[in-house]
Amino acid sequence: MAAESQILSMGQQFSGLPMGALIGGPLEAAAKANQQMAMTQLQFMMITCFNENSTKKGSYDPIMIEMTLDRGVIEPGTEENGNKPSISTMTTSFKLPLLTIIPLNSLAVDDVKVDFEMEVKSSFASNNSTEHKSSTAEKASFSAGGNVGPFHVEVHGSVSHNSSSEAKSDTHYKQSNSAKYSVSVHAGQLPLPQGVKTIIDAYAKNVSPVTLPAAEPVKS
């Protein structure tokens, strides 16, 4: 049918849309946000938790935090206190890298979802109407007369004809189509890289307490 050719196919309608930009745009923005987040994390880690080595360029030393550890120690009694054992507090210090104390992987873009739904509706309507009317009319009459002997004869006649015809046709055509296109993009944030985890674990496991020098007894 001629009308069918006038309606665009779904493929033609979608081809006119900038699908690349519509779908790629949000995805690219999400990927960019992810990249920015990774860079932000790296910058945070390098600036906050490391100091650049002044003697060796390009080398970074972790910022160490000195921690104190207090624990109770049972001391044997002396003659002065009647051989009664006592509990005193011993303080030791150890150093931890700041990297192990500040959370790095606690916040992350863990879910990025882009839903894109498009509906295209196309319709076409055609109206065709033709009307034809015709009519004919004919009319005729005659009269005749004469004398036949003592008689007078007269004849009258008339003929008429009337004809009428009517034709009407109405055509209506309508077509519509629709399509929905849905794109869902999901990107999950990766956990802390294994390399960073390993470094943090190595630092955390190599904490070696250093005993502070014992305070000299106060002489009275």
Of 3, 7, 112, 118, which one interacts with another protein (CB under 8 A)?
112
Of 125, 179, 202, 207, which one interacts with another protein (CB under 8 A)?
207
Q: State how far the Cα of 121 lies from the Cα of 112, in Å rounded to an integer.
A: 30
Of 7, 19, 102, 192, which one interacts with another protein (CB under 8 A)?
102
Q: Pairing state of beta strands 210-211 and 86-97?
A: antiparallel
Region binding another protein by CB under 8 A among candidate stretches 3-11, 110-118, 129-137, 139-147 = 110-118
Residue 162: CA atoms inside 13 Å, Cβ hemisphere, count? 0
| φ and ψ at residue 142, rounded to 5 degrees | -150, 160
Of 7, 8, 19, 65, which one interacts with another protein (CB under 8 A)?
65
Nearest to another protein of 79, 111 (CB atom): 111
CB atoms within 10 A of CB 97: 21
Helix, strand or coil for residue 127?
strand
Please tell me whether residue 50 binds another protein under the rule CB under 8 A: no
Q: State how far the Cα of 129 lies from the Cα of 134, in Å rounded to an integer.
A: 17
Region binding another protein by CB under 8 A among candidate stretches 3-11, 69-77, 80-88, 149-157 = 69-77
Of 3, 8, 63, 196, which one interacts with another protein (CB under 8 A)?
63
Contacts with 204 (C-beta within 8 Å, 6 or more apart), sequence order: 96, 100
Q: State how far the Cα of 56 lies from the Cα of 63, in Å rounded to an integer.
A: 16
Nearest to another protein of 68, 129 (CB atom): 68
Q: CB of 125 within 8 A of CB of 176?
A: no
Nearest to another protein of 96, 120 (CB atom): 96
CB atoms within 10 A of CB 88: 8
Of 6, 12, 15, 36, which one interacts with another protein (CB under 8 A)?
36
Residues that bind another protein (CB under 8 A): 21-22, 24-30, 33-34, 36-37, 40-41, 44, 47-49, 63-72, 93-94, 96, 98, 100-103, 106-109, 112-114, 204-205, 207-209
